[in-house]
Amino acid sequence: MTAIATLSLNDAVPVAHSYVPVSTNGSVARYADKVSGVPIGYSTISYEMREPKTATAAYRVLIGFNFPVLATIDGVLTKVRNSSAQVILNLAPDSTAQERKDALAIVTSHLSNATVKSSVENVEPFY
């Protein structure tokens, strides 16, 4: 079993953000980047591992990201918008460690691909 620990992740600048463990129950782990100092402004990551419920079902890994943006409106710090992302991996119970490594590597590589990055950063579809 993997131990929960602080995650250091870079943004696009790159500036390192420390996502500290907030909670875990052995199935769901929650992390927060508390740099804003205000709970409504914490950027968060959740990580959930679901075991198969039947012999033919897959392991499900669900990773969620939330990126709130705060602004001061009439002297009050307020969340004005939120961006989010989800990654879901469905892993066959009889998959090998190498198959799982390959799946993760391809997903990670895809998200780092220049055309994918351009599409997301510029909010443009592929043509």
Residues 85 and 99 in one domain: no
Do 89 and 99 belong together in one domain? Answer: no
pLDDT digit string, tens, across residues 71-109? 999 999 999 999 999 999 999 999 999 999 999 999 999
Where in the sequence is the domain holding 68, given as residue range(s)? Answer: 7-93
Q: CA-CA distance, 83 to 66, in Å (whole number)?
A: 6
Assigned domain for 88 exists: yes
Q: What is the DSSP-derived secondary structure letter of residue 35? A: T
52 and 114 fall within a common domain:
no
pTM, two decimals, is 0.90
pLDDT for residue 2: 84
- Number of folded domains that form the chain: 2
Average pLDDT rounded to a whole number, residues 97-123: 96
76 located within any domain: yes
* Predicted local confidence at residue 127, as pLDDT: 87
Which phi and psi angles does 92 have, rounded to 5°?
-60, 140
Residue range 6-51, pLDDT digits in tens? 999 999 999 999 999 999 998 999 999 999 999 999 999 999 999 9
Output the CA torsion sign for 102, 67, 10, 29.
negative
Q: Check residue 1 and give its pLDDT.
A: 75
Same domain, 101 and 82: no
Asked if residues 17 and 33 have their Cβ atoms less than 8 Å apart, the reply is yes
Is the domain of 82 the same as that of 104?
A: no
